[in-house]
Amino acid sequence: MRSHKSLKSIQAILFDIDGTLLSRMHDIPTLPVRDAIKRTQDKGILVSIVTGREINGFESINKWLGITAPVVLAGGARLYDPLKQKDLWTCYFNASEIKALISLLLEQNAAFYAHAGRIRFESSAYAQLIVNLVDESLAQGRTPRKRTPSNELIPSALSSLDFTKLTYLIWNLKPEALDEARRVLHQFSDIAYAVVGSPRNEMRNAGMVGVYITHSQATKQHGVFELSKVTGVPLQNIVGVGDEENDFPLLMACGYRVAMGNAVSSLKDIAHFIAPSVEEDGAVQVIEMILEAQDTD
C-alpha cells in the first residue's frame, strides 16, 4: 500500500460497478457505499464509473448513487455526461468487422447479445438459453433476475441493423469453448476482448462465462484516457478500482490501482492495494483510506 502522503494527491476515484460497487446478489449498491460516494463528492474529489454496462444499465444504478461526473460506459466505448445525458466521446465497432463477426456467430448458433446505446439485440440462441436457465432456476426454487427487453437478432434482420452504432458484444459460452472462441476472434484486427463472469446468476450457476468484445480502441483504458482529458485530472492522480479481467486496462490507466478482495488474480498481481470483497463493502474502505489521507497534514 502507498503511504498516506502519496494518496493526498488523489483527485478522482474510478469504480467498476458489478463485483466492485455491486454484489451479484443485489440490485443496487448498499447504503454505506452510497453514503461514502456522497461524502467523497462533497469533499471535492471526483467519483466516476468505468463499467461494461451501457446507458440504461448505468442509469438504473445511478438513480441511487447520484454520481455527477462523466462516466465511462460500454467497456470503454462511451464517455457519458449523466447530468446532460449526452455523449462526450464514443468509439464504435468497425462496421464491416462487427457485421462479419455477428454473421459468423449467427451461423454457429452462438448465444450472444450486442448493444447500441439504449437498444439491445440478442441472438435467438441467447434468448433460448436464458429461457432454459430461468426455468431451471424456478424448478430449483431460486428467483431469477428480471429479463431486459431486447430485439432478436436473426440473419434476415441484419440488413436493417445499423452496425455503425454498436458499442459492445458479449458472447456467452462454456469455459472449455474459450480456445475456439479466441481462434475466431483473432481473425478480426479491430477488436479487443476479455473473459468476464456473467452478470446473470443463472449463467454463473450454469458455469458459463462471457467474452466481452469492443473496438480495439475502446477498452476501459481508452475510456479513462478520455475521462482524464475532459476533467483535467492527471492520470497519476486517479485511483482505479475493479474486480474482473476487463478491469485490467482500467487499473493500468490509473496512478493508483486497487483490486477488490473478490478480484481475479491477474488484477491482484498489479494492485497497489487489495480491498475487502464487494460483499464486505470494500469500496467503502477504499474511500475512507483516501479521505483520511486527504485530511492528514
Q: What is the pLDDT of residues 191-203, one digit of tens each?
A: 999 999 876 777 7
| pLDDT above 50: residue 144 | no
Has residue 59 got a pLDDT over 90? yes
Pair (78, 102) in one structural domain: no
Q: Which pTM does this prediction carry? A: 0.91
Same-domain check for residues 184 and 230: no
At residue 27, the pLDDT reads 87
Residue type, 31: L
Grid coordinates 450457476 are at which residue?
A: 205
Domain boundary among 215, 238, 254: 215
Output the pLDDT for position 171. Answer: 96
pLDDT band for position 3 (cuts 50, 70, 90): very low
Distance CA 243, CA 258 (A): 9
**Mean of all residue pLDDT scores within the chain:** 90
The CATH number linked to 190 is: 3.30.1240.10
pLDDT band at 150 (very low <50, low <70, confident <90, very high): low
197 and 250 co-located in one domain: no
| pLDDT recorded at residue 5 | 45
Decide: 50 and 257 in contact? Cβ < 8 Å: no
Q: What is the CATH number of the domain that holds 223?
A: 3.40.50.1000
Tell me the mean pLDDT in the region 212-239: 98
Which segments of the chain does DSSP mark as H helices, in order? 4-7, 31-42, 55-65, 95-107, 124-139, 178-185, 201-205, 220-231, 248-253, 265-270, 282-295
Please state the rounded mean pLDDT for residues 133-155. 59
Q: How far is CA 166 from CA 61, 80, 219, 245, 271, in A?
A: 22, 15, 14, 22, 32
Mean pLDDT, range 57-78, rounded to an integer: 97
Domain count, the chain: 2
- Give the model confidence (pLDDT) of 110-124 as tens digits: 999 999 988 889 999
Residue % of the chain over a pLDDT of 90: 76
Range of the domain at 13: 4-91+218-295
